[in-house]
Amino acid sequence: MTTPTPSQQLLQFHDDFVELQSLCAFLCDAMVAITLAELLVDKRSVNGLQLCAGQVKRRAEALEAQLLGLRAVYGGV
């Protein structure tokens, strides 16, 4: 298995970041819709929101670690 080039790593990071942006947008829109509609949210929906929020947080942490890794390798370039 070959080591990805810096360009490939950057493209992958971009793709991962765009995916995270989509998750964030969905979560924000869902929360606003629930708030504006003043809906009573059932336990399953609350659980789903918690799972989605947890996924967003984990993805953000993973992207931060990935970015720090790229910076460590290529920061002095």
Beta-carbon contacts of residue 70 (< 8 Å; ≥ 6 apart): 6, 9, 10, 13
Which pLDDT does position 59 carry in this prediction?
93
- Global pTM reads 0.75
Other beta carbons within 10 angstroms of residue 37's beta carbon come to: 9
Other beta carbons within 10 angstroms of residue 47's beta carbon come to: 11
Cα dist from 72 to 32, 40, 63, 76, whole Å: 38, 47, 14, 8
pLDDT tens across 24-56, in order?
Answer: 999 999 989 988 888 788 999 889 989 999 999
Round to whole Å and give the CA distance between 55 and 60. Answer: 9
Which pLDDT does position 76 carry in this prediction?
67
Which pLDDT does position 6 carry in this prediction?
86
